[in-house]
Amino acid sequence: MKTRKEIIQEIQDLQRNLMTQFEDRVRGALQGMLMGETFSDRTPIPSKNNSEEVKWAVNVDMLCAWIEQVCSSKQLTIADLTTVIQQFKGEEALDGLPISNLVFSSGYVQNPIDVAKADFDETHKNLVFYDFVLCRSVFAGLWDYQSMDTVVQNAEKLCRLTHNSPQVVGSSVVVAYLIHKILLDELFTENELIWLSRNYSSELSAYVEYAYEGNIHMLKPNTSETPEKNIMKTMGLAIWTTLQTSSFFDTYSFLGRELRFFREIQAVVIAVLGAKQGYANIPVEIGSPHGSVKAYRGSELVHQVVNDELTGYVSGRADSLILTLQEEMKRNNRVLLIP
């Protein structure tokens, strides 16, 4: 029979293992997003003679800015969010798009959710730039991840800052829910995801079913389709990645080939893949001429980013975020991301 001391030691070991797994999955999600945005055949490869600055899409920069804010104030307010969104107005990915017109419209900073809803109600059109909203849902899945209610509320609010279509809001909630369940190391079912998605739009359930059927053909995005439809497909692909049993490299390479013209979608899907597989299972030799077989030409830049850029730019923010999340878990506070 085990002694009291032995039982306490086993509990402490289990807690340490769970925390190590948690850290591994948070890092995996952040690195996955960075790699997804980089792994594209449209991404320029720095030449040997003219070293080009590695530049990814706006999502990683914006996510890091939010992480800095939430780690300093222990919450992320509406004012913080709108300030960061406006900060990226000069980025090529935002400049000149309808989303820029929205975030710089009268009254947006003071009441962004209502202004965005009024804009949607008036035009009945959803804004493009779907990666911009779905990448936020990854962050919503990290904060206070032990509380499903908080994760869902945060995902809804983060989405509605710019996008109000029921299909987009529902897709954002499902992606955040996947991160929530991955971090808890809990299984989820097809019926569970269908039930959750139908709270927002009956259209979403078909893409949940495609994911479980492994019907990649119906989940591949298409430039001729509406942003809403591509967002629902992205949600389906994120679910599909959680069902795969092959290695990170095999799944990552497959997605890279299938989504080669959709870097923004890769960022979301591979963030979920990174969370599921964990940082420790992401091979550092991806894209290396002397390592794993390259899927296609963008992988060389991925190798450079994984080995050089992530160490300084994203890793430090990952450390801060993990520490903050751990502190919140110890306090057991159910603080909304957006009060």
Cα–Cα distances in angstroms (integers) from residue 143 to residues 6, 70, 160, 334, in the given order: 33, 9, 18, 10
Closest CA to 273 of 299, 246, 241, 310: 241
Q: Where are the beta strands (DSSP E) in 6-145?
A: none
Neighbours of 251 (CB within 10 A): 19
* Lookup result for tokens 């509320």: 153
Q: How far apart are CA 154 and CA 339, in angstroms?
A: 9
277 vs 141: CA distance, rounded Å: 16
DSSP state of 109: T
Domains of the chain: which residue ranges?
Answer: 19-40+54-326
In this predicted structure, what is the pLDDT of residue 175? 96
pLDDT in tens, 90-108: 454 444 456 667 777 778 7
pLDDT of residue 11: 56
Q: Which residue has the higher pLDDT, 233 or 301?
A: 233
How many angstroms from the chain centroid is the CA of residue 150? Answer: 17
Encoded tokens for 23: 């850290």
The domain over range 19-40+54-326 is classified in CATH as 1.10.4080.10? yes
Give the residue-averaged pLDDT of 311-328.
65
